[in-house]
Amino acid sequence: MPASLLPQLAVTVTVGCHRIKRCKFLIETTNLGLAKISDKIGFGAYPHFSKSFKEKTKVSPKHYQKITRNA
C-alpha cells in the first residue's frame, strides 16, 4: 500500500469505529429499530451496517440489541 494512502485509511478506520460506538449507544439507550439506527448514523443500507457492526463487535446488531435490552 502506498504511504500516501495511510492517512486516509486511518481516518476511515477511525470514522468506522466512531459510527459503531454511536450505534451501540443508540441500541442501548433508545427504542429505535435497527434499520432506523443504521439510517440515522449514515450507513445507508442495513446490510452494510449489519456487516460492519458484526466485523467490529463480533456479534450481530440484532443479537447485541437483544442482550443489552435483556440486561
* 25 part of a folded domain: no
Residue 11 in domain: no
Give the domain extent around 50: 33-71
Q: Is residue 12 part of a domain?
A: no
**pTM of the predicted model over 0.85:** no
Which range has the worst mean pLDDT, 1-5, 24-28, 61-65?
A: 1-5
Buried-exposed string 30-63: b where 16+ CB fall within 10 A, e elsewhere: eeeebeebbeebebeebeebbebbbeeeeeebee
Instruction: Give me the mean pLDDT over the 49-67 stretch.
Output: 93
Query: Any idea which residue has 432506523 for its cell?
Result: 36
> Dihedral through CA 45, CA 57, CA 37, CA 12, nearest 10?
-60
Give the count of domains, the chain: 1
**Is 36 a residue whose pLDDT tops 50?**
yes
Q: From 10, 38, 13, select the one nearest 24 (Cα to Cα).
A: 38
Residue 43: pLDDT band by 50, 70, 90 thresholds?
confident
